[in-house]
Amino acid sequence: MYGRLAVRFTWAFMFALLFVGVTSGSNAHAVENTAVQTINFDSIGSRVIELQGGAQLSVQNGEPESEIAILRKDLRVYENNIPLGYAEKVHIWNAVGNQYAAIEYRLSGTGSVLLFDLFVINDEEVKQIFASHEYTHGKLTMLGADSLKVTFPTYEKGDVNVDPSNLASESYLINTDNTVSLKSETENDYNPLTAKAAGPYSNPAPEVINKMLTKAAIDNNIPPEVFKAIVWQESRWRQFTSDGYPLIGYDGRGLGITQVTYSQSHLDKNPGLEERLKTDIEFNINEGIKILKEKWNSTYVPWINDHSPEEIDHWYFAILAYNGYSKKNDPRLTAEQRTLLKYPKEAYQDTIYYHMTYDEGPGQLYVKPFPVSELVINYASSTATLMDFSAKKQYTIPGPFTTSKHFFVPGNTVATTAEVSLRSSATKDSTRKRFMLRGESVQITGGIRYAADNTQHFGWYPVKTMDGSVGYIASSYLTERASILSVFPDLIMSVRGYPEVATLVENKVISGYPDGTFRPDVPLNRLQAAIMFANELELDLTNVTDPGFNDVDPAYRFYPQIAAVQNAGIFLGDGQGNFNGTQELTRGQMAAALVRAYKLTERTETPFTDVAGVFKSSIETIYSYNITSGVSDTLYGTNDKLSRRDFSIFLYRTIVKAPQN
């Protein structure tokens, strides 16, 4: 009996089978071969085909499982249950008193995985003589009654699904003794479509496509970042080719911007569907959305945490399912295994995460990698290729989680998630108006906008910064203010200095006290200021020269920070060989330290009447950079003590206003 349950041969076993009894071409079937008859099956439905010797081929295509069986004398001599797949067609021919059948079937998903089995049938027996490995986007062509060829794409990292780097082909020869051998194997056999006259279609502008994809995703409770990354991988956001024709996968199956891949029987049963998928970009997008939602709601793949769709991190398995459940999307495979099995360089969902998160990529969004080491994926046997997730259907992963950045509205106060530029217009190619720190607060002043560039999947929000600057920031670098910082109980969001302190805390420049408070009005001493300068400037704390301060022991915990700021010329001591770490810092001393730390050079005469002596030039300098406006219109407060709150404000202003070296 030759039945199996979704079981495929391993490569080692397959090649052993291929080369058993290999004969020369002269031993192949000759002129008495009859023409090959090809019969297509509906993707949903039943069909019985009469075979030689009273045998019958029975096909039961359905959801979620299909079945192929060959019966002879009321016995099932072959059985293949296909979870999440369907039998597509059978090729039948006669030669030398035998009948032969090549049955093609596919696993569902846009990956369109092809497999096929070969049989010899006569009055005595039905015998399976070959079982293929899987071919992603494979296309089988009968070359005659004794040979066939499978063509399939080979993808390099960075390839888009519709445009593989190369095509490969494998040809198989059925010998007279009914063994099967690999006739030829070719690589890099890719012949791009020949040029033709311009077609009638053109793609919408990138910003229009961005809006269309975003709206379709939001309308269906899908994070736009997820859907846009998927469509980027499928087609690079193209519905049509550059010469004006519908974008169709090389094998003729994937259609349009989302590369929707329906069976031919499904297209035939729905008149007009294929044409709309080819020519109507909005319809095609909505079909892709429908497929992704079906994958999200699938019970075949696991859920993550509470399966709430707002968290992008929860879409890992739905993204995998969009491309199919084949072993090629098992992220645990090594590079060597992928090469041996002729799989893409990485699992589909990993490619989508790359598009969403790569710093220089189209998404530039931070999403934590899924903990692959926790995956439990099984296979029906060592030769099966369909992933089985039933052993673990729920995964609990820790936060924080990433949500879409497309829902901010005018008036929202948000924070930057990284060091980023404030741009003059809604594109990364515009002028940088100023440098933004991680954790810096900004206010959204208008609706999201999109660049005329399909490599910018994020949007751009018009914002106003704390210092009054206006410009645009990429949506992927913004987050709700509360999510960037746990608020100190004594420094709430509504009080002066909160945004500046929050930014410095987020950048690990300053921290609170062990009891969790910040104590904003406590005077800042020289040691605390030295630590903040060392942290913010990322001074070398290892290779320091001993400053020789009488009151600082080299074994002291903060000796490296004190030595580093002295070596950098920021704090010079009291002239008597002491650092005086516990001495409270004055506003005049602060001005001098800021000028030395950030090498500020501009000077402007001030309106202050209390500015004179050693700190005069430093105060004029920070006034020139709009770092200070004094304690009143005419007083700077040179000898006033400086609080932790005020120093944080001054340091923040200096960082964002000083020239970036």
Q: Does position 661 have pLDDT exceeding 80, yes or no?
A: no
Quick check: is 406 in a domain? no
Asked if residues 94 and 84 have their Cβ atoms less than 8 Å apart, the reply is: no
| Spatial contact of 368 and 284, defined as CB atoms under 8 Å apart | no
pLDDT given for residue 7 in this prediction: 39
* 192, pLDDT greater than 80: no
pLDDT tier for residue 2 given thresholds of 50, 70 and 90: very low
Residue 19 has pLDDT above 80, yes or no: no
Q: What is the pLDDT of residue 462?
A: 98
CA–CA separation, 89 and 72 (whole Å): 20
Interval 60-115: pLDDT, tens: 999 888 999 999 988 999 999 998 889 999 999 998 889 999 999 998 765 578 99
514 and 650 assigned to the same domain: yes
Q: Is 246 helix (H, G, I), strand (E, B) or coil?
A: strand
Domain contains 70: yes
Query: How far apart are the C-alpha atoms of 659 and 599, rounded to whole Å?
Result: 9
223 and 364 in a single domain? The answer is yes
Q: What is the pLDDT of residue 20?
A: 36
Supply the CATH number for residue 348's domain.
1.10.530
Q: Is residue 24's pLDDT more than 50?
A: no
Taking the C-alpha atoms of residue 341 and residue 334, their distance in angstroms, rounded to an integer, is 11
Tens of pLDDT, residue by residue over 616-647, are 999 999 999 999 989 999 999 999 999 999 99
Q: For position 4, what pLDDT does the model report?
A: 37
Q: What is the pLDDT of residues 203-248, one digit of tens each?
A: 999 999 999 999 999 999 999 999 999 999 999 999 999 999 999 9
**53 found inside a domain:** yes
| 403 within some domain | no
Q: Are residues 64 and 155 in the same domain?
A: yes
- What are 562-601's pLDDT values in tens digits? 999 999 999 988 889 999 999 999 999 999 999 999 999 9
CA atoms of 118 and 103, how far apart (whole Å):
7
Q: How far apart are CA 391 and CA 388, in angstroms?
A: 8
pLDDT at 519: 92
- One domain for residues 245 and 169: no
> Which residues are CB-contacts of 540 (< 8 A; sequence separation ≥ 6)?
564
- Please give the model's pTM, rounded to 2 decimal places: 0.74
Q: What range defines the domain where residue 432 resides?
A: 413-484
Report the DSSP pairing between strands 98-107 and 113-121.
antiparallel
Residue of 93 and 5 predicted with greater confidence = 93
Question: With bands split at pLDDT 50, 70 and 90, how would you rate the model's confidence at 33?
Answer: low
> What is the average pLDDT across 286-314?
96
pLDDT band at residue 141 under the 50/70/90 scheme: very high
Domain boundary among 395, 423, 443: 395
Tell me which long-range contacts 268-276 makes (C-beta under 8 A, separation of at least 24).
269/42
Same domain, 340 and 383: yes
With 60 as the cut, is the pLDDT of residue 9 above it?
no
The pLDDT of residue 542 is: 93
Bond preceding residue 64 cis, omega within 30 of 0: yes
**What is the spatial distance between Cα 382 and Cα 362, in angstroms, rounded to a whole number?**
38
> Do residues 151 and 214 share a domain?
no
Distance CA 508, CA 437 (A): 12
Query: Band of the pLDDT at 190, cuts 50, 70, 90?
Result: low
Q: Is residue 285 part of a domain?
A: yes
Q: What is the pLDDT of residue 487?
A: 61
Let me know whether 424 and 473 are in one domain: yes
Q: Which pLDDT band, with edges at 50, 70 and 90, does 417 fall under?
A: confident
Q: Are residues 228 and 105 in the same domain?
A: no
pLDDT of residue 371: 95
- Same-domain status, 253 and 105: no
Average pLDDT rounded to a whole number, residues 407-428:
93
What average pLDDT does range 452-478 have in this prediction? 94
Q: How far apart are CA 59 and CA 484, in angstroms?
A: 57
User: Phi and psi for 17 in degrees, rounded to 5?
Assistant: -65, -40
Q: Three-state DSSP class for 218?
A: helix
Range in 387-391, 592-596, 653-657 with the lowest mean pLDDT: 653-657
Please indicate, yes or no, whether residues 216 and 79 belong to a single structural domain of this protein. no
For range 533-540, the mean pLDDT: 94
Distance in angstroms (rounded) separating the CA atoms of residues 109 and 85: 9
Q: Residues 601-616: what's their mean pLDDT? A: 93
Locate all alpha helices (DSSP H) within 478-525, ordered by sequence.
481-484, 498-506
Q: Establish if 384 belongs to a structural domain.
A: yes
User: 3-class SS at 425?
Assistant: coil
**14 band by pLDDT with thresholds 50, 70 and 90:** very low
Average pLDDT over every residue of 521-544: 95
Q: Is residue 498 part of a domain?
A: no
Q: What is the pLDDT of residues 493-518, one digit of tens each?
A: 768 888 888 888 888 898 888 888 89
Q: Which of 424, 449, 484 is the last residue of a domain?
A: 484
What Å distances lie between residue 620 and 91, 105, 533, 611, 637, CA to CA? 88, 79, 21, 9, 13
State whether 373 and 444 are in the same domain: no
Give the residue-averaged pLDDT of 114-137. Answer: 93
Mean pLDDT of 539-565: 95
Mean pLDDT of the chain: 88
Q: Are 524 and 620 members of one domain? A: yes
With contact defined as beta carbons under 8 Å apart, do 64 and 55 qualify? no
Total domain count for the chain? 4
Say if 51 falls within a structural domain. Answer: yes
Which of residues 347, 362, 395 is at a domain's end? Answer: 395
Kindly tell me if the per-residue pLDDT of 378 is higher than 80: yes
31 Cβ contact list (under 8 Å, min separation 6): none
Res 110: pLDDT: 56
d(C-alpha 102, C-alpha 118), whole Å: 5
Q: What is the residue type of 590?
A: M
Average pLDDT estimate for 23-29: 42
CATH code of the domain containing 445: 2.30.30.40
